[in-house]
Amino acid sequence: MLTLRDFDVVGRTYRNINRYRQILTIIFKYGFGNIIEALKIDQYLEIGLKMISKDKPPWLEPLTQSQRIRLLFEELGPTFIKFGQILSTRPDLIPLEYIFELEKLQDNVPEFSFSDVKKNLTKAFSDKESPFVFMEEKPFASASIGQVHLAKLKTGERVAVKIQRPDIRKHIIVDLEIMNHLATLMERHIEDLSFFRPVKIVEEFAETLEKELDYTLEASNMERVARQFVFDSTIHIPRVYLDITTETVLTMEYIQGIKISETDTLDEHGMDRKLLTQRGADLILKQVFEYGFFHADLHPGNLFVLPDNVLGPVDFGMMGFMDRRAREVFIDLIASVVTENSSATCHYLLELTEYDDEPDMRFLERDISTFIAQYLTKALKHINVGRLLQDLLKITARHKLRLYPDTFLMMKSFAAVEGVAQKLDPDFDMVEYAAPFIKKKKIERISLSRITADLSSLSLESLQLLREIPRDSIAIIRQARKGKFVLGFDIQKLEKILGAYQRENHKRSVSLIISSLIIASSLLFSLKASPQIFGLSLFGLVAIACAVVLWLWLFVKPGK
């Protein structure tokens, strides 16, 4: 585990002090010395802040603050590069302009030597003989945490082997401790920054990084996606060799294809650009709306084209997840935009975001109406999905709404695929292509099998609620008798709380009615009560029809 030591422990080692000075020097170099001086570091550490160079290069002047932060992260090395890349997926944490800039972060880190590669392999497979009979010394891909080498197994198969940088975990822990120290000082001394809870951000980053440092999790992601497309011959997910994969070494099938961005090479090999564009769109549509588990880093470097126009995505370290409810809400959001229902759009947008205070619905609906009018006056083929999502993000930022991270990752994935599509086939219309798929998903929600399953689930939940009411009531009475029953609420948020309570109470009441109708219809069917139609009780059919109508009204109508 990547554990952060106590605040007072940081800096006690010579290694930490040296790295701390290096980080502070680079921070001053990029013009953020005022922040460092406000932290009063000398009160906590004998770091010699006065000895640190505070000179700023002249080329820094024309750069924006977000550009300087990007360059700062790149110079600080792997931990900070990864930190910036993760921040670029979190519109709930940082402003939009910083997100767009941090998306440009490059892994400009040197390759590590082949002797270090061999040491890492020996350490990873210490209890068994090396499975590789040959490995190319020069990596064909490298990033902040590891690099990838072509190798050959004893069975003759060619594989791609991703190997972590030597001692990367130790270096990351040192950087994380320093980041945590700086974040703690920010919360103590800079009120404007304490609002963003920097310590919490560093802790979340440590958790995310822990997952990225475990290659067995990436292997698990690959296997899960492979199961999604096991019967789809148009998508090929590299095979994972689990028996020779560890936390620090990932062994997978070597994909020998053409990068999807190399359009001239694709043409030379007779690839069908239009077909590839459609398959790329299918890839993200199926992953998001059918499975809810999707590749969250589908940039051109991670998409290869194999013979017969087969797509081969790689690098499954960053994945997104959306549960069924979130997927359905997003589909409803799209449908409400298309039907110009700004009120419903606001409702669904709020379901996909979190916020501290209820936004002013009048102003939010006005902005949404302007947004809808701006895009619906255009022909579908002239709508740029990436631009549309950027404008939607600006609205959420203006009203202090924070998109859930996975929702944002999903939007970014669609924008990335559309960007690839525009290069392959400039006439491709992502919105028009996705419309039948989205319509199909909306229809599936009112299919008999789906309604039956949902009603069954609803009945079980309602019965569970009925079982819990007496027990919860007794618990409340006991607390009241002991004088320990306390009812607390925020007066300013009373209206919001009451509204939410009334909606939930309304849903529960209707749910109980639906459950009663289902139970009644089941009894009428089993007793074969008269009158009958097609061999079924007429009253039973009426009861089940009423249950279906109530279910549709309860879950389809926004705001209820």
Structure tokens at 106: 């490059």
Sign of CA dihedral 51, 52, 54, 56: positive
- The closest of 19, 44, 46 to 189, measured between CA atoms, is 44
User: Among 282, 297, 315, 332, which one carries the catalytic annotation?
Assistant: 297
Residue given tokens 């953020």 in the structure block = 32
Give domain limits for the chain. 7-108+174-211, 113-165+214-254, 260-444, 448-470+493-556
pLDDT at 355: 86
Can you give the pLDDT at residue 525? 60
Label residue 216 exposed, middle or buried (CB < 10 Å: 0-12, 13-18, 19+). Answer: middle
Give the integer Cα–Cα distance in Å for 393 and 385.
12
Please report, to the nearest 10 degrees, the dihedral formed by the alpha carbons of residues 229, 233, 235, 240 taken in order.
70
3-state helix, strand, coil in the chain (%, to 5): 60, 10, 30
| Predicted pLDDT at 66 | 93
Q: Which of 252, 258, 257 is nearest to 148 (CA)?
A: 252
**What residues in the chain have per-residue pLDDT under 70?**
1-15, 42-55, 107-108, 195, 377-383, 446-463, 465-469, 472-475, 478-512, 514-517, 519-529, 532, 534-541, 550-560
HSE of 459, CA atoms in CB hemisphere, 13 A: 18
**3-state SS class at 158:** strand
Which amino acid appears at position 408 of this protein?
A: F
Task: Looking at 352-404, list the stretches that DSSP marks H as alpha helix, in order from N- to C-terminal side.
Answer: 361-376, 385-398
Domain 113-165+214-254 carries which CATH code? 3.30.200
Residue 14 is classified by DSSP as: H
Is residue 280 within 8 A of residue 421, CB to CB? The reply is yes
Angle at 325 between CA 321 and CA 330, to 5 degrees: 80
The predicted pLDDT at position 403 comes to 86
- Please give the pLDDT value at position 158: 96
First to last CA, the chain: 44
Does the annotation count 308 as an active-site position?
Answer: no
